[in-house]
Amino acid sequence: MAISFGVLLLLPTAFTMQFVYQQPLAAIIAAGIGTPLVLAGVAKWIHEGATQHPAISNISPVGIGVFIIGEILIFLGLFASYWVLRISAGVDGAPWPPPGTPHLNLVLPLVMTAILVSSSLAYHRAEHHLDEGRKGAFMLWLCAAIVLGAAFLGCTVYEYTHLIEEGFLPGTNQFSAAFYSLTGFHGSHVLVGLASFLAILVGMTFGNVHKMLVKVAGIYWHFVDVVWFFVATQVYYW
């Protein structure tokens, strides 16, 4: 969480204040707060990876951390492309979103955020019951997380359907390319997370599942949840 908010302050906020609104003091303040948050988060992450006992023998405890960092870099590449487009339009005085972009429903992303956060809370509750050995309660909350995740994807499909009907396609303009790339890439990660949840559900139904799989799937899902905050704030409200 510290790393996520630090990156949010350090990159889009500081860059926006400097290059879009020409507010260097605000940019310095944002960078000054964001940098220590990122460094503190990374330091804590490394400390935990170096001191905790490996859950599975011969498997590096920092493996999931390396994986998440790789995912962050992929998303960061997409965000950087969007920031370049957005900042360039602001500097040139060009309208944003560009002509040809229909009005986006700004209530729907708030609903999707609530759904995704609820799914993370449900999965966290499921993990708590698994630690207590309550298999039935674990499966119940896991199903709740799956249903909420599927509802999130349903909202994405609903939005895409209406936008495509209005002629808003990935090749319509620069914003449409960025919009479908960011939201679609995030949606693919939600789909992968749901697939992992279904694998866990099937495993628990017909036998047992290693707790490390449950933990790793949870870390991945919470990461997808945090990324959505960046996608929603950047694409819909900037």
Give the tens place of pLDDT for each residue, 102-158.
999 999 999 999 999 999 999 999 999 998 889 899 999 999 999 999 999 999 999
Give me the domains of the chain, ranges plus CATH numbers: 102-237 (1.20.120.80)
Token pair 């119940």: residue: 140
Across 2-33, b (16+ Cβ under 10 Å) vs e yields bbbbbbbbbbbbbbbbbbbeeeeeebeebbee
Give the model's pLDDT for residue 50: 58
CA distances from 213 to 53, 56, 134, 191, 200 (A): 16, 11, 17, 17, 8
C-alpha distances out from residue 11 to 22, 62, 207, Å? 15, 25, 46
CA atoms within 13 A on the CB side of 127: 18
pLDDT in tens, 75-86: 999 999 999 988
Q: Are 89 and 238 contacting, i.e. CB atoms less than 8 angstroms apart?
A: no
Q: Are 82 and 237 in contact (CB under 8 A)?
A: no
Mean per-residue pLDDT for 63-78?
86
Which band of pLDDT confidence, cut at 50, 70 and 90, is reported for residue 13? confident
- DSSP letter at 157? H
> Over the stretch 15-57, which tens digit does the pLDDT of each residue have?
778 777 888 899 899 889 988 998 888 788 766 655 666 555 5
